[in-house]
Amino acid sequence: MAMNSQGRPTAATGGSDGTQFESFSGHVGLRLAEPLIFELGTTETTGVDFEDTSDLELSCGGLERKSEIGCPGLAEPDTVRHYTRLSRRNYGIDMGVFPLGSCTMKHNPRLNEKMARLPGFGDIHPLAPKGTVQGAYQLMDELSHWLMTLTGMPAVALSPKAGAHGELCGVMAIRAALEARGDAREVVLCPESAHGTNPATAAFCGYKVKSIPAKDNGRVDLEALKAALDDTVAAVMITNPNTCGLFENEVREIADEIHKAGAFFYCDGANFNAIVGKARPGDLGVDAMHINLHKTFSTPHGGGGPGSGPVVFSDALKDFVPVPYVVKTDGGFDIVEDQTGKSFGRLTAFQGQMGMYVRALSYMLSHGSDGLKQASEDAVLNANYVLASLKDVMSASYEGPCMHEALFDDRFLKDTGVTTLDFAKAMIDEGYHPMTMYFPLVVHGAMLIEPTESESKTNMDQFIRSMRGLAEAAKAGEVERFEGAPYHAPWSRLDETQAARQPILRFAAE
Ligand SMILES: *Cc1c(COP(=O)(O)O)cnc(C)c1O
């Protein structure tokens, strides 16, 4: 079986006389080549000894599988090596600067991990008798309290498992509220700069999505919004601060117009890290907002663990929140599981991501209200430091200071032959995870940089030096540095067009 070696560098850097040579092993120094597990394992090998089951009576009623499963098998040491080798290829927030805009890749404090592993939290089961998990319910109640306090909103649903899932929760509550008043509406408005999950959520809930344009200053065009608002509009989904890293400073007028039209204001709260302790969405007229605990409140992200996207609700929507939720009773805490009254139902099998709740509350309590506010201030300060340090060599998309992320576009690369993609790949050679690219869509060749409050000035200065170096190299015509980049990564440039057009989503043995 041939190993797919597209993009895999095979030559070591060279002998002392400058000649290139290939290693006999396919490894490049201690950077070990690693095939797919399907290429490595065989269906004949297994890491465990199973008992002979041939004389067992089958109890599947004839539904038992007749063919081989075809899973590759490996001995235990080979399995350990396979995953250890792969894990060393990972780039994460624990490795270096991770400036992925809109994602708030902040440090995950180890205290949170310690708390989440306490047996009383880590080893409980969602079906454990209520009397045995009172502490867990109390923790959920306290987390709810903090989320409501920080947002100035009277209700919260903890169970959604990501930001996008929170959007679904919010829009379903809006739909339930509209239906309860016998007012079927069919349109959801989203600004052009919206994250793709906003229109996707609205469409998934059966709404027609209409786009509202932005003004030259990167903010929602209030006049265009007013013109689009009528009695067919169910909700307007706005991100604040928005995905251009700018605060929507007409947000109160926006909220008033939305409410005047009888619609609801859904706020995408992914960028809450810029304003925690500084502004409360409830005071800005928001009706529902998700909070990405894995962004703002430091719980791990992506490969690091499951997300969690609680949604806070205004008075107008609070009766429609999904079950389950925790309530305080005379004797302790109880969990409301049955759909009664106006709740639109249930979004998840159980109570949500308990481990994330523990981490988020640990983060909140260890920071305190002053610390949370300072984290936001430092996040905004760091982003402005990056913006101010790069705007003479890269093109900042908008005038003036930013919130917690700095948006650049590709005007500074004009006529260089270098694209945003090339620039991002060259960052990998510099030892950085690329920034968010080509999002938001409102500017050409977007580069969205979010350093978060975690980065020290030393780290940012090194990052800025690399970014300035790359920008100057591009302008000096050093196209080769970019077009084949990354040169020093375990995998060099892949054919992304082919990967998108002809994705191979299943391994097929030849
Ligand atoms: C991250 C993000 C989302 C989606 O959140 P997930 O937790 O990834 O589902 C939505 N909107 C914006 C602006 C985001 O940055």
Residue 271 sits in the same domain as residue 380: no
| Phi and psi, residue 196, nearest 5° | -55, -25
- How far is residue 448's CA from residue 50's CA, in Å, rounded to a whole number? 52
Question: Ligand 1 centroid vs 74 CA: distance in angstroms?
Answer: 37
Low-confidence ranges of the chain (pLDDT < 70): 1-19, 302-305, 508-510
Ligand 1 and 162: CB distance under 6 A:
yes
Q: What does the pLDDT look like over 307-322, one tens digit per residue?
A: 899 999 999 999 999 9
- Domain limits at 437? 374-501
User: Does residue 345 sit in the same domain as residue 436?
Assistant: no
Angle, helices 354-390/457-475, rounded to nearest 10 degrees: 50
Query: Is the CB of 163 within 6 Å of ligand 1?
Result: yes
Between CA 282 and CA 151 the distance in angstroms is 6
Ligand 1 centroid to residue 58 C-alpha, Å: 46
CA–CA separation, 416 vs 422, rounded Å?
A: 11
106 C-alpha to center of ligand 1: Å? 15
Q: Residue 30 class from Cβ within 10 Å (0-12 exposed, 13-18 middle, 19+ buried)?
A: exposed
Single residue among 345, 366, 387 that ends a domain in this structure? 366
Residue 248 CA: distances (Å) to CA of 191, 210, 218, 221, 230: 12, 19, 9, 10, 22
Whether 23 is in a domain gets the answer yes
Kindly give the distance from the C-alpha atom of residue 307 to the centroid of ligand 1, in angstroms, as a whole number. Answer: 10
Q: In this structure, what CATH number is given to the domain that contains residue 427?
A: 3.90.1150.10
Atom of ligand 1 nearest to the CA of 309: 7
pLDDT at 418: 98
Q: 191 in ligand 1 pocket by Cβ < 6 Å?
A: no
| pLDDT given at position 31 | 81
Q: Please tell me what DSSP assigns to residue 89.
A: T
Other beta carbons within 10 Å of 410: 22
Cβ 164 under 6 angstroms from ligand 1: yes
Atom 5 in ligand 1: residue holding the nearest Cα: 163
Whether residue 248 contacts residue 217, with contact meaning beta carbons closer than 8 Å, is answered with no
Beta bridge partner(s), residue 209: 188
Is the CB–ligand 1 distance for residue 308 below 6 Å? no
CA separation for the pair 435, 427 (Å, rounded): 9
- Ligand 1 in reach of 197 Cβ (< 6 A): yes
CA-CA distance, 173 to 343, in Å (whole number)? 8
The response to whether residue 243 sits with its C-beta less than 6 Å from ligand 1 reads yes
pLDDT of residue 510: 52
The whole-number pLDDT of residue 13 equals 52
pLDDT at 11: 52
Q: Are 24 and 78 in a shared domain?
A: no
Residue that is written with structure tokens 């250890």 in the block: 84
**Does 441 share its domain with 467?**
yes
What is the C-alpha separation between 365 and 449, in angstroms, rounded? 28
Taking the complete model, does pTM exceed 0.75, yes or no? yes
CA of 270 relative to ligand 1 center, distance in Å: 6
The DSSP secondary-structure symbol of 52 reads: P
Are the C-beta atoms of residues 289 and 123 closer than 8 Å to each other? Answer: no
What SS3 string covers 194-210? CCCHHHHHHHHCCCEEE
In a domain, 254, yes or no: yes
Beta bridge partners of 210: 189
Q: Give the β-pairing of 233-239 and 187-191.
A: parallel
341 and 271 in a common domain: yes
* Those residues with Cβ within 8 angstroms of residue 373's Cβ, 6 or more apart along the chain or in another chain: 276, 277, 278
Pick the closest to residue 124 from 360, 310, 345, 358 (CA basis).
358
Whether 64 maps to a domain, the answer reads: no
Q: Are residues 497 and 402 in the same domain?
A: yes
Looking at residue 14, its pLDDT comes to 53
* 267, 268, 294, best to mutate for ligand 1 pocket (most atoms within 8 Å of CB): 268
Is 4 domain-assigned? yes
Whether 99 is in a domain gets the answer: no
Q: What is the DSSP string of 19-47?
A: --EE-SSS-BTTB-----HHHH-BTT--S
pLDDT value at residue 18: 61
Q: Cα(363)–Cα(382) distance, rounded to whole angstroms?
A: 20
Instruction: Compute the distance from residue 42 Cα to the ligand 1 centre, in Å.
Output: 39
Which two three-digit tokens encode residue 26? 């396919």
d(CA 32, CA 83): 12
Q: Whose CA is nearest to atom 3 of ligand 1?
A: 163
Task: Provide the number of structural domains found in the chain.
Answer: 4
Residue 507, domain member (yes or no): no
Asked if residues 154 and 314 have their Cβ atoms less than 8 Å apart, the reply is yes
Domain boundary among 348, 366, 384: 366
Do 146 and 240 have their domain in common?
A: yes
Could you tell me if residue 388 is inside a domain? yes
Q: Do 449 and 305 have their domain in common?
A: no
DSSP 432-454: ----EES-STTSTT-EEE---TT
149 found inside a domain: yes
pLDDT the model gives residue 1 = 41
Both 425 and 289 in a single domain?
no
* Ligand 1 center from residue 196 Cα (angstroms): 9
Kindly report the protein residue whose alpha carbon is nearest to atom 4 of ligand 1: 163
219 & 350 share domain: yes
User: Rounded to 10 degrees, what is the CA torsion of 213, 424, 382, 148?
Assistant: 60
Ligand 1 centroid vs 295 CA: distance in angstroms?
9
Distance CA 162, CA 308 (A): 5
User: Residue 175: in which H helix or E strand, if any?
Assistant: helix 163-180
| Distance, CA of 408 to CA of 395 (rounded, Å) | 5
Closest atom, ligand 1, to C-alpha of 239 = 13
195 in ligand 1 pocket by Cβ < 6 Å?
yes
Beta bridge partners of 100: 449
Q: Are residues 81 and 117 in the same domain?
A: no
| Domain edge (last residue) among 308, 337, 366 | 366
Q: Pick from 351, 287, 280, 350: which is nearest to 320 by CA?
A: 287
Query: Which residue in 179, 186, 157 sits closest to 170, CA to CA?
Result: 157
Backbone angles phi, psi at 248, to 5 degrees: -80, 90
Task: Match 């994602």 to its residue by tokens.
Answer: 103
Give residue 475 CA to ligand 1 midpoint distance, Å.
34
Q: Which residue has the tokens 């005047």?
A: 260
Nearest to 273 by CA among 313, 240, 302, 310: 240
55 Cα: distance to centroid of ligand 1 (angstroms)? 52
CA separation for the pair 496, 484 (Å, rounded): 13
- Considering only CA atoms, which of 179, 190, 204, 280 is closest in space to residue 235? 190
Pocket test for ligand 1, best of 169, 195, 294, 437 (most atoms within 8 A of CB): 195
H or E segment and range at residue 211? strand 208-212
Binding site membership of 292 for ligand 1 (Cβ less than 6 Å): yes
Q: Is the CB of 351 under 6 A from ligand 1?
A: no
CA 166 to ligand 1: nearest atom: 9
User: What is the 232 CA–ligand 1 centroid distance (Å)?
Assistant: 26
Q: Are residues 166 and 278 in the same domain?
A: yes
